[in-house]
Amino acid sequence: MNVADLEIGQIARVDQVLNIDCEQGTAERLAAMGIVSDKPVQVLRKAKFNGPLHIRVGATTEIAIRLHEAEMIVIKTDRDDEINFSEGSQMIPKSTIELIEKVKIVLLLILISIIILVISQILVWNY
């Protein structure tokens, strides 16, 4: 499977970049743009009529590549891969997202505790 096979919004990891192009240096150019093994990639848009693809590489790099270049990028789409697309349009490991959610819950509990403490102090002062 390659990047050209991905649906819009789908995320995968780069397995390898094949050097099958007639043009010399295409694989090196893709590597210079950050398309290297184990890097997450996501298709953001696809042009009609086999036009270029707009992809995100890593968390912030967005590039446009030609269809035949996308076909050179072999990907891994293992569902067990630890990647999600969330938190302000960035690719973040699932473990980090889970940690953020737990921190949010703890902070909410702390805030509730503070509110209860303040209310109890106000009631004590009024009596």
Residues found in the chain: 127
Instruction: Specify the pLDDT at position 53.
Output: 94
What are the domain boundaries of the chain? 3-86, 93-126
Write out pLDDT tens, residues 14-40: 999 888 756 668 888 889 999 999 899
User: Which residues, 6+ apart, have CB-to-CB distance to 74 below 8 Å?
Assistant: 1, 2, 14, 15, 16, 17, 18
Instruction: Specify the pLDDT at position 79.
Output: 54
CATH architecture type of domain 3-86? Roll (2.30)
Reported as a pLDDT band with limits 50, 70 and 90, residue 94 is low
Average pLDDT for the chain: 84
Residue 81 has pLDDT above 80, yes or no: no
